[in-house]
């Protein structure tokens, strides 16, 4: 049975958020819409920023940074930052998308991020992202019905597949089909333009990707698990937003900030990635718009802390030996603190203390993840922002199975426990 602390409302809402956020652009736009509803004001990066107190945010492509300045906050007031990322491994449409072979119409795709290729086989895929018109206007694209499929080769034509393992050539074998007939140049963009309701001749650029149209679902005998696409890392984006909204009130001792960045799966180095200047610029402008100097900015940064949240590995029952034997995070055991002394995670003793205190205040149990020495360790935005801003950082998240699969799995209680701990952190 699921425990009484299980807040199904939060997980239900996460499932809806993931379902309507197939691309980073949708995720950022959906966060913005929820911030609008909560009374936050969107600031233009090209405009002068007011010195007003209250909730504000900046939206740039697939990234968003939101914050709340409490009444009376002086220029040296430090930040409590919750960081996450909006992107997930997927297949993305190439510049000349229309291709095909043997009477099939296909779409040429690039592999985005460290995707588990096999997880995209034989799934009903939709299409999403954005197009930009000649006049510079941007339109979101969301075709949420079975449109594409990467068909696996039948076992009769690949007799050794179960013994030798599935071998997928990244260029040859991952091209989705989307119909029958001769290759029709321009067909995909004409189709997308029609879906969006614009003139195809006006489409000047596109960032398009596929997604599994299957909705998130509770799984398991007692429904204590959550099966879903993009838990990495929309789970943290959703939790971070909930935490910011909970912490956005006068009397909060620091300035709570929520940042969700794009391009983590490819190393974060972009104008909207965590390695870019977006967060630093926003934090600097929050200080300077209240009359703060460079010296006061340095004082505010020195009084700041960053909680970087991303998924981690739960112990896999069929591969227990791949996990560090003394550290076995389990689903619904609470969010995880992620440790790697080689700085793949930014956590240190001070960070651990901050995290433990936040969890204690929230009444949230937590676990520790550390990798096994015989294997490399993943990383996330924590070490990147720590190095860039010099702000103390701790890496946390939720333990899951099947990370980077098109459909991942985690405990259904953990998202709410993470959000509760994150809110306690932002309010500290
Ligand atoms: Zn991630």
In this prediction, residue 220 carries a pLDDT of 96
Q: How confident is the model at residue 101 (pLDDT cuts 50, 70, 90)?
A: very high
1, pLDDT greater than 50: no
Distance CA 20, CA 80 (A): 28
Distance 84 CA to ligand 1 centre (A): 8
Distance CA 414, CA 224 (A): 10
Q: In 3-state terms, what secondary structure has residue 256?
A: strand
343, pLDDT greater than 90: no
Distance 86 CA to ligand 1 centre (A): 8
Segment 311-340 shows an average pLDDT of 94
Distance 145 CA to ligand 1 centre (A): 26
Distance CA 175, CA 101 (A): 10
Average pLDDT of the chain, as a whole number? 95
In this prediction, residue 27 carries a pLDDT of 98
240, pLDDT greater than 60: yes
Distance 332 CA to ligand 1 centre (A): 19
Distance 87 CA to ligand 1 centre (A): 8
Distance 99 CA to ligand 1 centre (A): 31
381, pLDDT greater than 90: no
Residue 270, both tokens: 């972009």
Burial 238-269 (b: 16+ CB within 10 A, else e): bbbbbbbbbbbeeebebbbbbbbbbbbbeebe
In this prediction, residue 375 carries a pLDDT of 85
Distance 53 CA to ligand 1 centre (A): 32
67, pLDDT greater than 80: yes
Nearest of 213, 246, 207 to residue 230 by alpha carbon: 213
Q: How confident is the model at residue 3 (pLDDT cuts 50, 70, 90)?
A: low
Q: How confident is the model at residue 328 (pLDDT cuts 50, 70, 90)?
A: very high
Distance 176 CA to ligand 1 centre (A): 25
Distance 154 CA to ligand 1 centre (A): 32
Phi, psi of 378 (to 5 degrees): -70, 175
Distance CA 156, CA 384 (A): 47
Segment 331-359 shows an average pLDDT of 94
Contacts of 20 (CB under 8 A, 6+ apart): 26, 30, 142
Distance 243 CA to ligand 1 centre (A): 19
Nearest of 81, 122, 103 to residue 396 by alpha carbon: 81
In this prediction, residue 110 carries a pLDDT of 98
249, pLDDT greater than 80: yes
Segment 197-213 shows an average pLDDT of 98
Distance 161 CA to ligand 1 centre (A): 30
Distance 160 CA to ligand 1 centre (A): 33
Nearest of 230, 227, 231, 232 to residue 380 by alpha carbon: 232
Contacts of 284 (CB under 8 A, 6+ apart): 297
Give tens-digit pLDDT for 107-162.
Answer: 999 999 999 999 999 999 999 999 999 999 999 999 999 999 999 999 999 999 99
Distance 265 CA to ligand 1 centre (A): 7
Distance 310 CA to ligand 1 centre (A): 5
Give tens-digit pLDDT for 8-46.
Answer: 999 999 999 999 999 999 999 999 999 999 999 999 999
Burial 220-237 (b: 16+ CB within 10 A, else e): eeeebbbbbbbbbbbbbb
In this prediction, residue 209 carries a pLDDT of 98
In this prediction, residue 76 carries a pLDDT of 97
In this prediction, residue 385 carries a pLDDT of 85
Distance 371 CA to ligand 1 centre (A): 16
Identify the structural domains of the chain with CATH numbers, from first to last. Answer: 8-88+229-426 (3.40.630.10), 90-212 (2.30.250.10)
Segment 395-420 shows an average pLDDT of 97
Distance 311 CA to ligand 1 centre (A): 6
Strands annotated E in 16-124: 41-42, 54-60, 63-69, 79-85, 90-101, 104-112
Distance 285 CA to ligand 1 centre (A): 28
Q: In 3-state terms, what secondary structure has residue 341?
A: coil
In this prediction, residue 377 carries a pLDDT of 82
């Amino acid at each position: 049975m699921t425990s009484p602390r299980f807040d199904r409302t939060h997980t239900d809402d996460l499932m809806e958020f993931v379902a309507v956020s197939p691309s980073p652009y949708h995720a950022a736009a959906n966060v913005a819409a929820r911030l609008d509803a909560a009374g936050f004001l969107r600031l233009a990066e090209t405009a002068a920023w007011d010195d007003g107190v209250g909730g504000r945010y900046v939206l740039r492509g697939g990234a968003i940074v939101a914050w709340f300045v409490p009444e009376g906050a002086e220029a040296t007031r430090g930040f409590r930052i919750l960081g996450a990322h909006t992107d997930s491994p997927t297949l993305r449409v190439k510049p000349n998308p229309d291709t095909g072979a043997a009477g099939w119409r296909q779409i040429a795709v690039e592999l985005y991020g460290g995707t588990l290729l096999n997880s995209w086989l034989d799934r009903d895929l939709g299409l999403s992202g954005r197009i930009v018109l000649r006049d510079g206007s941007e339109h979101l694209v969301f075709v949420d019905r079975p449109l594409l499929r990467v068909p696996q080769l039948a076992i009769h034509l690949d007799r050794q597949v179960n013994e030798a393992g599935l071998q997928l050539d990244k260029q040859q074998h991952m091209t989705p089909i989307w119909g029958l007939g001769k290759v029709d140049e321009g067909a995909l963009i004409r189709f997308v333009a029609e879906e969006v309701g614009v003139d195809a001749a006006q489409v000047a650029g596109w960032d398009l990707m596929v997604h599994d149209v299957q909705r998130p679902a509770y799984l398991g005998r007692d429904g204590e698990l959550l099966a879903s696409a993009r838990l990495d890392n929309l789970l943290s984006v959703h939790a971070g937003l909930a935490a910011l909204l909970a912490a956005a009130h006068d009397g909060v001792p620091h300035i709570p900030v929520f940042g969700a960045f794009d391009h983590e799966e490819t190393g974060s180095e972009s104008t909207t990635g965590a390695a870019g200047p977006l967060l630093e610029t926003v934090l600097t402008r929050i200080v300077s718009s209240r009359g703060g100097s460079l010296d006061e900015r340095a004082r505010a940064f020195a009084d700041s802390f960053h909680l970087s949240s991303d998924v981690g590995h739960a112990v896999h029952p069929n591969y227990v030996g791949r996990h560090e034997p003394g550290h076995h995070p389990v689903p619904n055991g609470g969010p995880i603190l992620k440790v790697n002394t080689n700085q793949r995670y930014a956590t240190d003793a001070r960070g651990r203390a901050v995290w433990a205190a936040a969890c204690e205040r929230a009444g949230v149990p937590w676990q520790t993840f550390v990798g096994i020495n015989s294997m490399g360790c993943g990383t996330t935005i924590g070490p990147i922002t720590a190095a860039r801003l010099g702000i103390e950082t701790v890496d946390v998240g939720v333990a899951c199975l099947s990370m980077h699969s098109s459909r991942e799995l985690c405990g259904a209680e953990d998202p709410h426990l993470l959000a509760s701990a994150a809110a306690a952190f932002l309010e500290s």
